[in-house]
A and B are shown apart, each in its own frame.
Chain A
Amino acid sequence: MSFLIGTEAIAHVAFWIVVGLTFGGAVIAVFPRNIIYNVLGLVMALSGVAGLYLYLGSFFIALMQLLIYVGAICISIVFAIMLSRPLHLEVPKRSVPKVAMAAGASAIFFAAVVGVIFKSNWVPAPEQSGDWSVVTIGHLLLTRYDLVFEVISLVLLVAIIGAIVTAGYSRRFSS
């Protein structure tokens, strides 16, 4: 009865597609030598993570992910690429021992983290209900996380002023 695929199976397939998108994108973001591929891989991986958020039922965060990461950060990276390195230049040689060492260290780290995750006894919350709307997040932002909400605006202010001073300075100097 192959035409009667349940919604659960579809969700399952969709989940694996999203996971594949995330990992494929991550690998493309990290390993190729042409920087345009790296950015496209990053976009793929970030969109995949947004899909995982949807799967976890966090529509709002998924939207934020697409807006901030894919929409803002990746675009600014593309701008940085356009402003910096001419793409036809030779990329530097990769030293094999260094790559092997880094890959080994990361593999050990990964094994350790997975070991930790499976050895630990995670206690889930007693009931799985609760309010997951944007309204609740807004309430939290203005009560429990009030100070954070204020300080993060200061972080952004500092970042913007600093970016102008750091990047804009030498242009002002030369003109």
Chain B
Amino acid sequence: MMKWVLFIPELYYVLFGLVFFILSLSKNASSKRLHGIAMTLAGVGVLVTVFCARQTGMVFFDAYRVDLFSQTFKLLLSLGTFWVISSCNELKGIDERQHPEFYFLISICTLGMMMLVSAVELLTIYVAIELSSYTLFLLVPMRRNADVYAETGIKYFMVGVTASAFMIFGISLIFGMAHTTYVTDILRVLPGVIHEPAAIAGLVLALCGFFFKQALFPFHSWAPDVYQGAANQVTTFIATASKMAAAAMVIRFVGFSGGESEVLVNVLMTLSILSMTFGNLVAIIQKDIKRLLAYSSIAHAGYMLVGILSMSERGFASAIYYALAYLVMNYAVFMVIMKIADDGHNLQIKELAGLHKRSPLLAMTLMMGLFGLAGIPPTVGFTGKFLVFAAALEKGYLALVVIGMVNATISLYYYLIVIKAAYLLEPVRPYPAIRIDAWTRSMSLALVGLSVYLGIFPDKFVALTEAAARSLPY
């Protein structure tokens, strides 16, 4: 059997990285041409993952598992990467001489995250997450005005490496308990010894590394600074694609317990509640829209965890659906930000004033994205929250669901502040008109259409996510 066929998406992204590695050596590649090449390659990458979506099998001595779960996430990842690259046509936040390296790091980061969602061996998981982390550590300090934001790079690095040290410590405890590093064997052994303290401690510590990527409560401290300090495109990438991979890994690791552990559920529940409440309360007072979205992402990591901690197939499926919803609506908001701040500066909320006159289409996209994040029907965000809370209710976590709903209401307040700025406030000084090209126009329409369509007719996608959750090896 031609096993390498299973590895095509990854090989493709290696090739993608290689192209930009070679291009980074040439002295005079114009940034427009680079963007054209990157966009073509990323677009073909989406097609490649779509074609490989139905593959199943194991490669690399059973350390690498290709199934519907991994392929769904690979599709989301390639889509996120394509969207981010498509909005890089005016990459003003990053010095022109670093553009080839920027695309190189983005493609390798995507590769690392794709390997992460397919890896079913602890060491492979560790190395894949380090590959994706290091590329992000390097992308963050690439911003042009490095003197103002230099410290964000170091902060991200320090928090990230510390979280990864805790994660690998947890993995060592899992190794000591389960006597194996293969996920399939762990799933067989670990539920039997889940009442040993070391098994629980190992799982919780190992989850730290992924919670860091998700910016869940105790590991959130990097999020606001990095969202603000990184270039807009890098922030978008961190906020969309890298959250997908982290969500997939939290699902995989929580599944290790086999749903047998009361302690683990309680820990996750506490983290989820703290994360939702903290994120939403602090977001209210933010003035910079990227900081606001950082705190909102902390809250959304909490909502996603509500579905995961239900530890049922439906719970995992709802979390996957929520990840998809989060990708669509978060990207919609970030695309608008990137277009309005096309010189790469940080956008304040008051700068949105009068947006509906400057560009009605962008204002509508922003509104739909924020409605989605707030969970207002009929957007995809509402359906996502509904599914997540339904999965939790099925397990009888009523208090958790009530707290989640209260939080959704709080979040509505600050999302509405932004929408009010865009639609009702008069600008204090005249801002220049916004140029939007045909691509942005069609992307805006597509995103608005997608978020409404997925919200009203979720059946097909719910079926897909349930099939993906079923294909997990338990």
**A147 and B63 contacting across the interface, CB-CB below 8 Å:** yes
Of the candidates B63, B127, B198, which one forms a contact with A155 in the assembled complex, judged by CB atoms under 8 Å apart?
Answer: B127
Residues of B within 8 A of A123 (CB): 179
Instruction: Provide the bound-state CA to CA distance between A115 and B198, in Å.
Output: 9
User: Is B138 part of the binding interface, using a Cβ–Cβ cutoff of 8 Å?
Assistant: yes
The answer to whether the Cβ of A166 comes within 8 Å of any Cβ in the partner chain is yes
Q: Is A91 an interface residue (CB 8 A)?
A: no
Complex interface: chain B residues within 8 A of A158 (CB): 105, 108, 131, 134-135, 138
Q: How far is the CB of B202 from chain A (nearest CB, A)?
A: 9
Nearest A-chain residue to B118, judged by Cβ: A147
Interface residues of A in 55-110 (CB under 8 A from B): none
Neighbouring B residues of A10 by C-beta, 8 Å: none
**Bound state CA distance, A117 and B112, in angstroms?**
33
- B207-247 toward A: CB 8 Å interface, digit per residue (1/0)? 00000000000000000000000000000000000000000
Question: Bound complex: CA of A125 vs CA of B197, how far in Å?
Answer: 20
Q: Mark A142-159, 1 if CB is under 8 A from B, else 0.
A: 011111100110110011
A162 & B197 in contact (Cβ 8 Å cutoff): no
B142 interface residue per 8 A CB criterion: yes
In contact, A170 and B146 (Cβ under 8 angstroms)? yes
0/1 interface trace, chain B 368-394, chain A, CB 8 Å (1 if under): 000000000000000000000000000
Measured between beta carbons, the chain B residues less than 8 angstroms from A146 are 60-61, 63
Q: Name B131's contact: one of A121, A151, A166 (CB within 8 Å).
A: A151
Interface residue A113 (Cβ < 8 Å from any Cβ of B): yes
Task: List the A side residues contacting B197 at CB < 8 Å.
Answer: 115-116, 119-120
- Which A residues are CB-close (under 8 A) to B105? 158, 162
Among A112-150, those with CB < 8 Å from B are 112-113, 115-117, 119-123, 125, 143-148
Taken together as a complex, chains A and B put the C-alpha atoms of A119 and B173 apart, in Å, by: 13
In the assembled complex, the Cα of A116 lies from the Cα of B24 at a distance in Å of 50
For residue B98, which residue of chain A has the nearest CB?
A: A165
Known contacts A125-B179, A158-B135, A162-B105: A151-B201 contact under CB 8 Å: no
Determine if A3 is an interface residue (Cβ-Cβ < 8 Å): no
A123 to B180, CA, bound (A): 13
Least distance between A171 CB and chain B CB atoms (Å):
13
Min CB gap B20→A, angstroms: 10
Q: Is the CB of A159 within 8 A of B134?
A: yes
B177 at the interface (CB under 8 A from A): yes
Residues of A in contact (CB 8 Å), total 29
Question: In the complex the two chains form, is A151's CB within 8 Å of B127's CB?
Answer: yes
B95 to chain A, nearest CB (A): 7
Complex contacts, B353 vs chain A, CB 8 Å: none
- With an 8 A cutoff between CB atoms, is A4 at the interface? no
From A123, which residue of chain B is reached at the shortest CB distance? B179
CB < 8 Å A-B pair total = 86
Contact residues of B: prevailing secondary structure: helix
Residue B196 is within 8 A (CB to CB) of chain A in the complex: yes
Q: How far is the CA of A113 from the CA of B135 in the complex (A)?
A: 32
Interface residues of B in 99-127 (CB under 8 A from A): 101, 104-105, 108, 111-112, 115, 119, 121, 123-124, 127
Answer whether residue B176 sits at the interface, using C-beta atoms and an 8 A cutoff. yes
**Cβ-based interface call for B130 (8 A):** yes
Q: Known: A158-B131, A161-B104, A165-B142. Contact between A116 and B198, CB under 8 A?
A: yes
Q: Which of A117, A122, A143, A148 contacts B123 (CB 8 A)?
A: A148
A155: chain B residues within 8 A (beta carbon): 127, 130-131, 134
For residue A145, which residues in chain B have a CB less than 8 angstroms away from its CB? 63, 123-124
Any A CB within 8 A of the CB of B251: no
Q: How far in angstroms is the closest Cβ of chain B from A166?
A: 6
The interface centre, meaning the residue of A115, A123, A155 with most chain B CB atoms within 10 A of its CB, is A155
Distance, CA A162 to CA B100, complexed state (A) = 12
Scan B172-211; emit 1 where CB is below 8 A from any A CB, else 0.
0100110100000000000000001111010000000000
Residues of A within 8 A of B344 (CB): none
**Which B residues lie at the A interface, using CB under 8 A?**
14, 21, 24, 60-61, 63-64, 95, 97-98, 101, 104-105, 108, 111-112, 115, 119, 121, 123-124, 127-128, 130-131, 134-135, 137-138, 141-142, 146, 153, 173, 176-177, 179, 196-199, 201
Q: Taking A161-B101, A162-B135 as given, write out 14 further A-B residue pairs in contact, using a Cβ cutoff of 8 Å, ordered by the A residue number.
A: A120-B196, A122-B177, A122-B198, A144-B63, A145-B63, A146-B61, A147-B115, A148-B123, A151-B115, A154-B108, A158-B131, A158-B134, A169-B97, A169-B98
A residues with CB within 8 A of B: 112-113, 115-117, 119-123, 125, 143-148, 151-152, 154-155, 158-159, 161-162, 165-166, 169-170
21 contacts between A and B (CB under 8 A): A112-B201, A119-B196, A120-B196, A120-B197, A120-B198, A144-B61, A145-B123, A146-B63, A148-B121, A151-B115, A154-B111, A155-B131, A158-B131, A158-B135, A159-B134, A161-B24, A161-B104, A166-B138, A166-B153, A169-B98, A170-B146
Report, nearest first, the 5 A-B pairs whose CB atoms are least far apart.
Answer: A162-B138, A120-B198, A147-B60, A116-B197, A116-B201
